[in-house]
C-alpha cells in the first residue's frame, strides 16, 4: 500500500549536522522516495496548526519555542507503508526508551529534542502535507 508521510528534521537534528544521516536512512529503504524537501524556519502560526492536538499541554510552550529555535528540514516521503515505516525508523518519543538502531535511539537523549517528527496516520499525513506543502496537497 503506497502512502505518503510528512517528516520534519527538528532544529536539533539540523544544528547537529544530522540531516544527511536521517534523510539517508529514509532514502535507503527499498522503493521509498523523497518527493519534496525544504529547509525553513517555522513561525508560531505554522507550529500552532501542526501541534494543534497538544495546545494547552504542559510541554506545548517549550515545544513550540524549541521548534522555532532554528531551521527544520520538512520533507515528504512516499512508498510502501511509509507512515508506519518512518515512525519505526524514528523510534519512540523518548529517546532513552528508543532502541539503538533507531534515529532517536542512536542520537537522542531528551524527550523534547528528539530529532524527527513523522506523521502518525493517513489522516495526519494529509493534514500535515497541507500545512507544509500546500501546493502538493
Ligand atoms: P512527533 O509528533 O514529533 O513525531 O512525536 P511523537 O508523536 O512521538 O510525540 P507526541 O506525543 O506527538 O509529542 C510531540 C512532540 O512533543 C515533544 N514532547 N515533549 N513530556 C514532554 O516534555 C514532551 N512530550 C512530547 C516531543 O518533541 C514530541 O516529539
Ligand atoms: Mg505526534
Question: Choosing from 102, 117, 125, 132, which is the catalytic residue?
Answer: 117
Q: What is the pLDDT of residue 24?
A: 98
Our mutation pick for probing the ligand 1 site, out of 13, 93, 103, 104, counting the most ligand atoms within 8 A of Cβ, is 93
Q: How much is the average pLDDT of 92-108?
A: 98
Q: What would the CATH number be for the domain defined by 2-136?
A: 3.30.70.141
Q: What is the pLDDT of residue 101?
A: 98
Residues 56-75, buried b or exposed e (16+ Cβ, 10 A)? eeeeeeebbebbeeeebbbb
pTM listed for this prediction = 0.97
Cell numbers at residue 56, please? 494547552
Domain ranges of the chain: 2-136
Amino acid at each position: 500500500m503506497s502512502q505518503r508521510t510528512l517528516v520534519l528534521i527538528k532544529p536539533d537534528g539540523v544544528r547537529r549536522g544530522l540531516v544527511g544521516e536521517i534523510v539517508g536512512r529514509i532514502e535507503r529503504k527499498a522503493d521509498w522516495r523523497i518527493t519534496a524537501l525544504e529547509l525553513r524556519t517555522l513561525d508560531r502560526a505554522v507550529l500552532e496548526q501542526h501541534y494543534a492536538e497538544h495546545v494547552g499541554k504542559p510541554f506545548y510552550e517549550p515545544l513550540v519555542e524549541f521548534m522555532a529555535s532554528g531551521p527544520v528540514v520538512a520533507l515528504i516521503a512516499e512508498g510502501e507503508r511509509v507512515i508506519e515505516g518512518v515512525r519505526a525508523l524514528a523510534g519512540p518519543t523518548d529517546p532513552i526508551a528508543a532502541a539503538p538502531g533507531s534515529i532517536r535511539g542512536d542520537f537522542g537523549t531528551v524527550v523534547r529534542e528528539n530529532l524527527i517528527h513523522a506523521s502518525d496516520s493517513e489522516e495526519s499525513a494529509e493534514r500535515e502535507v497541507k500545512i507544509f506543502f500546500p501546493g502538493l496537497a
